[in-house]
Amino acid sequence: GFLPLQGHVVRNWKVRWFVLLQDKLLYYKIEGGKKEPSPKGRILLDGCTITCPCLEYENRPLLIKLKTKTNTDYFLECCSREERDSWALDITGAIHAGHPVQVQELHRMKNSFKLLENISLHNIVERMYDSSTGIKLTRNLDQGNRYKETFTGSALVDWLISNSFAVSRFEAVTLASMLMDENFIRPVGVRSTEATRSSDPSEKFLDDSTALYMFAESSKKNTSSKEEVHFNISELSGTIVKQGFLVKQGHKRKNWKVRKFVLRADPAFLHYYDPTKEDNKPVGGFSLRGCLVSALEDNGVPAGVKGNVQGNLFKIITKNDIHYYIQASSKAERVQWIEAIKPLT
């Protein structure tokens, strides 16, 4: 699948197509909507160590870090926590292929807690922000530093349980860790920040009255223009239904680029982002109301499509008659996207 990868010489981000083998992770360049036949590079997994979640980049909370036995660091970014954990589990399984007991333990840890299907992290954060029933924000002092609008780890655990998002403190800590992994909240102060470096996922978030946390965006100045704020509120407030990397044909140059697509409902919008950029702002998007979505035949190149693409194409026509040509990585993924989009049109 597609994953953004940080370069070694120039520390920029490029999207590559990754293929996991038993002893190595290959990555390929995409040109003109088609995977090049030879890999651009490879990560040898023998003696490799994996860090997940990796919190070294504040603007990229869904990273996996691989360190080879020659001390080369690779940073891979995923679209969602579920995708990240799935990649991390499979890569770890390949690294420890000769140790089946360790792989079984990884599967057990992954399946030990699952978020209820009717609860989304976005809904939890919205509830946390509520002025009357949300989490109470206070000023706190840590190591001589004053922090505004913070809450303690134990306060968040209590709040999650009292609002029926978790039934035990263990579940609440796991849920709070998810919120931190997804960059909804962040640690502040020495104690909570040091805990994020723990190798044990259960110890990264502290159920403690001296560990401080805050909303991730609280520390950033809002420099958005009024137009951008209106754009965010009106279009980006919907519930995320589906997200993933897809290849999109440009409108002007007709070239193909990998974009991170995010499908939202209420209101129904499809936005796409440049995964190589540091900011998390869409580079385009449109309302799905009145749109038509359909699969394109894989035999030959359909009208309106440029380049020697690999197939698995689908088309979205907006009510303003703008045509979007999008390529999925497989027929199954194309069907999933079409089925997710159709009810929102």
Residue 229 has pLDDT above 50, yes or no: no
Q: Residue 86, SS3?
A: helix
Q: Which residue has the higher pLDDT, 58 or 282?
A: 282
Same domain, 94 and 35: yes
The answer to whether position 219 is within a domain reads: no
pTM, rounded to two decimals: 0.65
pLDDT band at 99 (very low <50, low <70, confident <90, very high): low
- Which residue, 82, 109, 136, sits at the end of a domain? 109
Provide mean pLDDT across the span 175-192.
Answer: 85
User: pLDDT band at residue 230, thresholds of 50, 70 and 90?
Assistant: very low
The confidence band for 200, taking pLDDT boundaries of 50, 70 and 90, is low
Tell whether the model's pLDDT for residue 231 goes beyond 60.
Answer: no
Which residue, of 109, 131, 166, is where some domain finishes?
Answer: 109
**In whole numbers, what is the pLDDT of the chain averaged over residues?**
82
HSE-up (13 A, CA, CB side) for residue 327: 26
In a domain? residue 98: yes
- Domain membership of residue 82 as a residue range: 1-109
Whether residue 125 is found in the same domain as residue 52: no
Produce one character per residue of 197-219: b if its CB has 16 or more CB atoms within 10 Å, e if not: eeeebeebbbbeeebbbbbbeee
* Reported confidence tier of residue 222, pLDDT bands at 50, 70, 90: very low
Q: Tokens 């796409």 identify what position? A: 272
Residues 266, 336 within the same domain: yes
pLDDT of 226 over the 50 cut: no
Are residues 94 and 55 part of one domain? yes
For the chain, the domain total comes to 3
Q: Is the pLDDT of residue 154 over 70?
A: yes
The CATH number that applies at residue 15 is 2.30.29.30
- State mean pLDDT over 190-195: 84
Q: What is the C-alpha separation between 110 and 104, in angstroms, rounded? A: 10
Decide: 121 and 115 in contact? Cβ < 8 Å.
Answer: yes
What secondary structure letter does DSSP report for 343?
G
φ/ψ (deg, to 5) at 123: -65, -40
Query: What token pair was written down for 246?
Result: 């897809």
Give 24-67 pLDDT, tens digit per residue: 999 999 887 778 889 999 999 988 998 887 877 777 878 899 99
- The winner for highest mean pLDDT among 2-11, 138-147, 270-279 is 270-279
Q: How far apart are CA 261 and CA 258, in angstroms?
A: 9
291 within some domain: yes
Q: Rounded CA gap, 75 and 64, in Å?
A: 6
- The answer as to whether 69 is a domain residue is yes
**Spatial distance between the Cα atoms of 110 and 113, rounded to a whole number of angstroms:** 7
Residues 297-321, mean pLDDT to the nearest whole number:
81
Pairing mode, strands 313-317 and 49-54: unpaired
pLDDT of residue 81: 78
Q: Considering only residues 225 and 128, tell me which one the structure prediction assigns the higher pLDDT.
A: 128
